[in-house]
Amino acid sequence: MDRSWLAFRFFSVASFVHVVWFFNVHSRWSASPVNLVVREQIMKRITITAVLIGIWLSPVARAAEFESEFISVKTQGAGPDVILLHGFASSPDVWSEVAKKIDSRFRLHLVHVAGLAGSPAAENVPESYLATIRDEIARYIEVGKLKKPVLIGHSMGGLLSLLVSSNEPSTVGRVIIVDALPFFSLLFNPLATAEQVLPQAKAFEKQMVSLDDMQFEQQVKSSASILTKNDEKKALLLKWSKESDRKAYAQILREVMAYDARPELNKITCPVLVVYAYDKAMNVPEAQLAQLYANAYANVKGVHIQRVADSFHFIMWDQPERFQKTLNEVLPR
């Protein structure tokens, strides 16, 4: 929050206190019943006005001024701003345990992408969800006058964090990426290009839309089994996927599969931490995965990359204590 805004809030509160003090202490009115009634009415109006001013000046109200067809944002806590971005087919509730532990020190902005996990799909389908959401997050930062917020993004949210911080580098204070690559398809082929992947991604999009509900559920169950070790959370992932708009789900998946953000990473100027998961069950040599991440983020100046062992994709669920410790170490105090 800038100093001019603080000064304005202080002046407003001070003015109100002074008016109350004036009427209660320095009033020369007589104590007649008529004057007492008038004074009481004035005091009520002043109180109502002060409450309205307080609501108007509050950070939550200012955030509520933002309207978007493509994202919704809920705020909680107080302090420096932290924007939390969920992954594909997920909900902001993926951050619920993290939020409880840090909202006493930070003002959290939990973003929900339209069309995913119960959020209604946008009426106007964008040509690119990723580019549109990127721009909406940047607009949210501008409208809310957030001062260099920290972006924490999991999976697709990590990719979006990279896109925002590379496209609007002066507006972001720090980026924390949770198990995400700047080009998702490198996981399947370290030599892949966006041009090679796009036809496959389009075919997969078409397939996702054509599946009936039972086939879709089986597909999601199969995927969830390798995303987290927590059986309760696997059921939650299934629920979120089934509550997603299928067309939005399929288009966003196609975009994430085929988008290569590596050429944009050299524009990022803020500190970047990448936390990635590793488990022996992945059947990938530990050194090979480490090299994959190092190569993928080579264009980010000063990037710091950390491995979290014994975890699948949802690190905040599989290794909550380790993840929280990492956040505590890098978030501003």
Distance in angstroms (rounded) separating the CA atoms of residues 96 and 142? 25
Model confidence, pTM? 0.82
User: 14: buried, middle or exposed (CB in 10 Å: 19+, 13-18, 0-12)?
Assistant: exposed
- Cβ–Cβ < 8 Å for 249, 116: yes
What radius of gyration, in Å, describes the C-alpha atoms of the chain? 24
pLDDT tens per residue across span 107-163: 999 999 999 999 999 999 999 999 999 999 999 999 999 999 999 999 999 999 999
In residues, how long is the chain? 333
Question: Where does residue 59 fall: left (phi above 0), alpha (psi -120 to 50 degrees), or beta otherwise?
Answer: alpha
pLDDT digits (tens, 9 = 90+) for 175-185: 999 999 999 99
Q: What is the mean pLDDT of the chain?
A: 87
Q: Indicate the helix (H) or strand (E) that contains 73.
A: strand 71-77
Instruction: Give the Å distances, CA to CA, from 96 to 39, 70, 76, 179, 232.
Output: 48, 22, 11, 18, 15
Pairing of strands 107-113, 304-309: unpaired
User: Which regions of the chain are under pLDDT 50?
Assistant: 1-31, 34, 38, 42, 46-62
